[in-house]
Structure 1
Amino acid sequence: MLVAIAALFLLIGVVAGVIGSIAGLGGGIFFVPALMFFANWYEPGSMPPQVAAATSLLVIAVTALSSSISYIKQKKVDMQSALLFFIGSAPGAIVGVYLNTLLATEDFTLLFGLFQLCMFVVLMVKDKLRPRQINWEVKRQFVDNEGKEYEYGYSRWSVITIAFFVGITSSLFGVGGGVLMVPAMMLLYRFPPHIATATSMLVIFFSAVVGSVTNIFHDHVNWLYAAMLAPGAWAGGKLGAIVASKLKGRTIVLFLRILILAIAVQMIIKAVIG
């Protein structure tokens, strides 16, 4: 039976790694439900939500590292922006771990699901909004494989503030934080889709490491199940980065919209039925 569970978790790791890497999300939306359902089915009571979130976050670090290495080789990662996001997300990740130990997450889950639903609506209508002139203190340019030129930018303090809340979400729910970070990059700062997803994965890696160290300190990680998920997550992260490099920016945005809607529905249903 243990071999069957290990094979199942290997497959889940691959699928979650691929999808998380393409969308810049990390894969935690798959890891947490899988851990809570299958681990508790195999060993009843062995995987409370707190441990599932902590174990998921550790595996997310593996996925994000694998993806980031590939994205860096493709020159899709905005390193300076990633480090700035990390400055905010690192303390947020630590705060999220402590909130996870102190607070019931049902209300947070419902609010998070409703927020993601709002993100889906905004992503659906964003192409119909009039583009505004960028007047940020930091400006960037990028030309994608189709020859389309993008200009994007941000103010440093707004990035740090948003990244702080992303870090909290990452550790609190064990989802990596990309479900907030990628839409924020695209909607607030006009990051091109390829740069947003690639940069998000590097920030997720940094934040997941910080959150995981804190979780390990509190002995929240289930090492057996983390080891079952990690090999598939590593392979899936690399494969996802390769697939993403072949996709058009519009395809990534469409993929992101569908995934965010699925996350929103999942979170809301989970909060309602408990």
Structure 2
Amino acid sequence: MRGPRAYASFVGIGLAAGLLSGLFGVGGGTIIVPLLVLLLGFNQRLAAGTSLAAIVPTSIVGVTSYALHGAVAWIPALILAAAAVVGAQVGTRVATRISQPVLRWCFVGFVVIVVVSLFLVIPSRDSRFLLSWFAGVGLVVLGFGTGVLAGLIGVGGGVIVVPILMLLFGFNDLEAKGTSLMMIIPTAISGTVGNLRHRNVDLLAATIIGLSACTMTALGAWLATQFDPKVGNILFAVYLAVIGVQMGLRAVRDRRKA
């Protein structure tokens, strides 16, 4: 039986994830997964599956907020989503065959890559994306890769997609965030279906976290339009670095106990 502390933790995790989701154009898995593991003792696989389910309503609210500001590139988002849905099914199948420590180190490695990319990308509000056949193929590759990550480690992929859309495809920062959130919706649904088949989702926790997150996502999206994009990148990179260090230390402790 869970006590009031667990339910309060679910709400708190959801509020934080919702704010970050709207602010940075991510699903919120980068905060949901490590906090479920570190605070509530979820194993990595269950945390990943629960996170992906909670991301669905959060992303819907987020993309609606960005769409109201005209910051969603619909055709690229659909290309990314179609490829990501396939990748998510691959990721959920692979996740059941990988050990907990390996999954944890995958998450840490993922965070390191994202932190580096956030310092490499120079956000701009004036950039404009031009769709071409070459760009379309690139979007398919990007979507499939992020879908695999979604199914494997429980993140929607936004923390990878947003920097890459800015760095390689010429999106401005707001359009990259809105497009990322649009892609995350079907990706998260597809991954959740796979996780449910393998019983890797705590539906009650996912529901509480997801609904709590929805109350903060619109605020985060509005703040994104007010903040200087460079400041936002630096703050997010610092946050991810802290999470990555905590997860790495936990992985090392678990290895010593084994």
Interval containing the TM-score (normalised by the shorter chain): 0.7 to 0.9
Cα deviation, residue 172, structure 1: 0.8
Cα deviation, residue 34, structure 1: 2.6
TM-score by length of structure 1 reads: 0.81
Cross-structure match for 1:23: 24
Give 1:36-47 correspondences, 5 Å limit: 36-40=37-41, 47=42
Flag structure 2 segments of 5+ consecutive residues without an equivalent. none
Deviation string 1:58-114 (CA, Å, 9 cap, x unpaired) is 001121111111111121111111111112111111111111111125345435534
1:150 paired to 2:110:
no
Residues 9, 186 of structure 1: CA spacing in aligned structure 2 closer, same or farther, 3 A cutoff? Answer: same
Tell me the distance in 2 between the aligned counterparts of 1:49 and 1:112. Answer: 9
Cα deviation, residue 264, structure 1: 4.0
8 Å CA contact 1:150–1:192 kept in 2: the answer is: yes
1:66 paired to 2:67:
no
Quote the sequence identity (%): 29
Q: 2:52 aligns with which of 46, 49, 57?
A: 57
What letter matches 1:55 in structure 2? T
Q: 1:75 aligns with which of 66, 70, 84?
A: 70
Aligned length in residues = 249
Cross-structure match for 1:88: 83
Cross-structure match for 2:198: 218
1:253 paired to 2:256:
no
8 Å CA contact 1:179–1:260 kept in 2: the answer is: no
Cross-structure match for 1:32: 33
Tell me the distance in 2 between the aligned counterparts of 1:77 and 1:66. Answer: 13
Cα deviation, residue 255, structure 1: 3.1
Residues 38, 238 of structure 1: CA spacing in aligned structure 2 closer, same or farther, 3 A cutoff? Answer: same
**Greater strand fraction, Structure 1 or Structure 2:** 1
Q: Which moved more, 1:107-116 or 1:95-104?
A: 107-116
Cross-structure match for 2:8: 7
Tell me the distance in 2 between the aligned counterparts of 1:87 and 1:259. Answer: 30
8 Å CA contact 1:110–1:272 kept in 2: the answer is: no
What letter matches 1:90 in structure 2? V
Cα deviation, residue 38, structure 1: 4.0
**Greater helix fraction, Structure 1 or Structure 2:** 2
What letter matches 1:166 in structure 2? T
Flag structure 1 segments of 5+ consecutive residues without an equivalent. 41-46, 128-142
Cα deviation, residue 9, structure 1: 1.5
Cross-structure match for 1:137: none
8 Å CA contact 2:117–2:163 kept in 1: the answer is: no
TM-score by length of structure 2 reads: 0.85
Tell me the distance in 2 between the aligned counterparts of 1:33 and 1:16. Answer: 11
Tell me the distance in 2 between the aligned counterparts of 1:236 and 1:64. Answer: 11
Cα deviation, residue 182, structure 1: 1.3
Q: Secondary structure at the match of 2:223?
A: helix
Residues 122, 31 of structure 1: CA spacing in aligned structure 2 closer, same or farther, 3 A cutoff? Answer: closer
Residues 118, 220 of structure 1: CA spacing in aligned structure 2 closer, same or farther, 3 A cutoff? Answer: closer
Q: Secondary structure at the match of 2:96?
A: helix
Q: Secondary structure at the match of 2:23?
A: helix
Q: Secondary structure at the match of 1:155?
A: helix
Tell me the distance in 1 between the aligned counterparts of 2:253 and 2:163. Answer: 27
Higher Rg of the two aligned structures: 1
8 Å CA contact 1:90–1:210 kept in 2: the answer is: yes
Residues 266, 38 of structure 1: CA spacing in aligned structure 2 closer, same or farther, 3 A cutoff? Answer: closer
Cα deviation, residue 232, structure 1: 1.1
Cross-structure match for 2:217: 237
What letter matches 2:168 in structure 1? L
What letter matches 1:79 in structure 2? W
Tell me the distance in 1 between the aligned counterparts of 2:107 and 2:43. Answer: 20
Deviation string 1:116-140 (CA, Å, 9 cap, x unpaired) is 434433443455xxxxxxxxxxxxx
Residues 12, 260 of structure 1: CA spacing in aligned structure 2 closer, same or farther, 3 A cutoff? Answer: closer
8 Å CA contact 2:105–2:251 kept in 1: the answer is: yes
